[in-house]
Amino acid sequence: MSTESTPAAGSDESPNDVELLVESALAWMAQDPDPETHDELAALLRRVGSSLPGAAEELRSRFGSRLAFGTAGLRGELAAGPNRMNRVLVSQAAAGLAAFLLERAHPGTRPSVVIGYDGRKNSRVFAIDTAEIMAGAGVRAVLLPRLLPTPLVAFAVRELEVSAGVMVTASHNPPRDNGYKVYLGDADHGSQIVPPADGEIAAQILRVAGSTTVPELPRSSDYEIAPESLVERYVEATAALSSHRPSTNAPPLSVVYTAMHGVGWETFARVLERAGFPAPALVTEQIEPDPAFPTVAFPNPEEPGALDLSYARARATGAQLIIANDPDADRLAIAVPDDREAEGYRRLSGNEVGQLLGWRAAEAAVAAGGTGSDGLPAALACSIVSSPALGAVARDHGLGFAETLTGFKWVSRTPGLVFGYEEALGYLVNPETVRDKDGISAAIAFLDLADTLAASGRTIADRLDEFAARFGHYASQQISVRVTDLADIDRVMAALRSDPPTEIGGLPVERIDDLSHGEGDVPPSDVLRILLPGARVMVRPSGTEPKLKVYLDAWSTEGTVAERRAHAEATLAALDAGMRARVA
CA–CA distance, 219 with 277 (Å, rounded to integer): 45
Dihedral (CA of 142, 138, 197, 169) sign:
negative
pLDDT value of residue 522: 84
pLDDT value of residue 10: 40
Residues 6+ apart with CB under 8 A from 188: none
pLDDT value of residue 544: 66
CA–CA distance, 447 with 445 (Å, rounded to integer): 6
pLDDT value of residue 573: 97
What one-character-per-residue DSSP string does 158-215 give? HHTT-SEEEEE--TTS-TTEEEEEEEE-GGGTTEEP-TTHHHHHHHHHHHHHHH--GG
CA–CA distance, 493 with 549 (Å, rounded to integer): 11
Helix, strand and coil in the chain, % to nearest 5: 40, 20, 40
CA–CA distance, 410 with 366 (Å, rounded to integer): 24
Q: What residues are annotated to the active site?
A: 171
CATH code matching the domain that covers 472-583, chosen among 3.30.310.50, 3.40.50.2300, 3.60.70.12, 3.40.50.150: 3.30.310.50
pLDDT value of residue 372: 86
The half-sphere exposure of 235 on its side-chain side, counting CA atoms within 13 A, is 19
Answer whether 359's CB lies under 8 Å from 395's CB.
no
User: Can you list the residues of the chain whose pLDDT is less than 50?
Assistant: 1-4, 7, 9-15
pLDDT value of residue 71: 72
Query: What CATH fold (topology level) applies to the domain 246-469?
Result: Alpha-D-Glucose-1,6-Bisphosphate; Chain A, domain 3 (3.40.120)
| R_g of the chain, CA atoms, integer Å | 24
CA–CA distance, 306 with 286 (Å, rounded to integer): 10
Give the 3-state DSSP-derived string for 82-103, with helices as H, strands as E and coil as C. CCCECHHHHHHHHHHHHHHHHH
pLDDT value of residue 518: 84
CA–CA distance, 339 with 334 (Å, rounded to integer): 16
Decide yes or no: CATH 3.10.20.30 for domain 5-226: no
Judge whether 246-469 and 472-583 match in fold: no
| Cα 67 off chain centre by | 18
The structural domains of the chain, with segments of one domain joined by +, span 5-226, 246-469, 472-583
Side by side, the strands of the sheet bearing 547-556 are: 473-482, 547-556, 535-541, 528-532, 511-514
